[in-house]
């Protein structure tokens, strides 16, 4: 209960404030917008994690290169997955997330203004168009793009089947795929519950990058399975 009250009383107003700072810079077409989009989400994520008294440990962050964009894929079982990655992964980060995020007042427009990509999971044509925008973003702005290939949070924490979008994008752009495992977030907040448990440790395990050189579109299924196997192995590692 303490964790929920902290987030409700402090985290929600802070979220709106940080989002407004980004949105104001976007509305003014400020030259500071790119810097705000890199700095403010990190500060916001770390604040919400502190409110839950959550500690984050990242194993092998050096596997996320800063000299070229990569596609980062991870398991997904809690909202706190996003906070852990946003707050503690190195480099310029952009997320591919569900279109419902864009409908949140202030937060949604700010999230889009920073170049994050919304996907309508129920509309195939929209999903294809979102991948095209992600490809253009990687070519022009060169961020690391984060996707949760399960498509939604796992209610049990068990790793679900991966959707192919992230791996189509990897083959199209030639960007390496970096598998990651996130442990401990479900103990903080589970899908379907607003209960927040404080004092937990989140561990982010960054795996070896999977090269896509020479792969063609017909290899997307095999790449999808390789990435899922890599994430599963990271989750099970001692």
Q: Print pLDDT tens along the chain (238 aa).
A: 666 778 878 999 999 999 999 999 999 999 999 999 999 999 999 999 999 999 999 999 999 977 789 999 999 999 999 999 999 999 999 999 999 999 999 999 999 999 999 988 777 787 888 888 999 989 888 999 999 999 899 988 899 999 999 999 999 999 999 999 999 999 999 998 888 999 999 999 999 999 999 999 999 999 999 999 999 999 998 8
d(CA 213, CA 191): 37
Whether 22 contacts 110, CB under 8 Å: yes
d(CA 129, CA 27): 25
CA distances (Å), origin 206, targets 58, 63, 95, 111, 223? 7, 7, 17, 25, 17
Q: Quickly list DSSP for 50-75.
A: HHTT-EEEEE-GGGS-SSS--EEEE-
DSSP state of 115: T
The pTM (predicted TM-score) of the whole model is: 0.93
Per-residue pLDDT, 12: 92
d(CA 194, CA 78): 11
Please state the domain extents for the chain: 2-236
Ramachandran assignment for 115, one of left (phi > 0), alpha (psi -120 to 50 degrees), beta (any other): left
Residue 22: how many CB atoms within 10 A of its CB?
26
Residue 90: how many CB atoms within 10 A of its CB?
14
Domain 2-236 is found in CATH 1.10.1840.10: no
Whether 42 contacts 85, CB under 8 Å: no
Cβ burial of 80 (10 Å; 0-12, 13-18, 19+) is buried
SS3 labels along 8-55: HHHHHHHHHHHHHHHHHHHHCCCCCHHHHHHHHHHHHHHHHHHHCCCE
């Amino acid at each position: 209960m303490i964790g929920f009250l902290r987030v409700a009383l402090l985290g929600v107003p802070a979220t709106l404030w940080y989002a407004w700072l980004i949105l104001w810079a976007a509305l003014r077409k400020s030259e500071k917008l790119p810097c705000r989009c890199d700095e403010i989400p990190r500060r916001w994520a770390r604040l919400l994690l502190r409110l839950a008294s959550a500690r984050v440990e990242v194993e092998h962050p050096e596997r996320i290169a800063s000299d070229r964009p990569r596609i980062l894929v991870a398991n997904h079982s809690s909202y706190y997955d996003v906070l852990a990655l946003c707050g503690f992964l190195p480099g310029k980060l952009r997320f591919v997330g569900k279109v419902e995020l864009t409908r949140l007042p202030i937060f949604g427009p700010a999230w889009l203004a920073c170049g994050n990509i919304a996907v309508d999971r129920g509309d195939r044509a929209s999903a294809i168009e979102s991948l095209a925008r992600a490809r253009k973003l990687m070519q022009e702005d060169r961020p690391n793009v984060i996707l949760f290939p399960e498509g939604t949070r796992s209610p049990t924490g068990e790793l679900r089947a991966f959707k192919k979008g992230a791996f189509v994008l990897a083959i199209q752009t030639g960007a390496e795929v970096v598998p990651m495992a996130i442990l401990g977030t479900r103990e903080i907040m589970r899908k379907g519950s607003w209960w927040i448990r404080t004092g937990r440790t989140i561990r982010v395990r960054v795996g070896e990058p999977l090269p896509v050189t020479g792969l063609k579109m017909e290899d997307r299924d095999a790449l999808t399975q390789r990435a899922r196997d890599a994430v599963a192995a990271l989750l099970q590692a001692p």
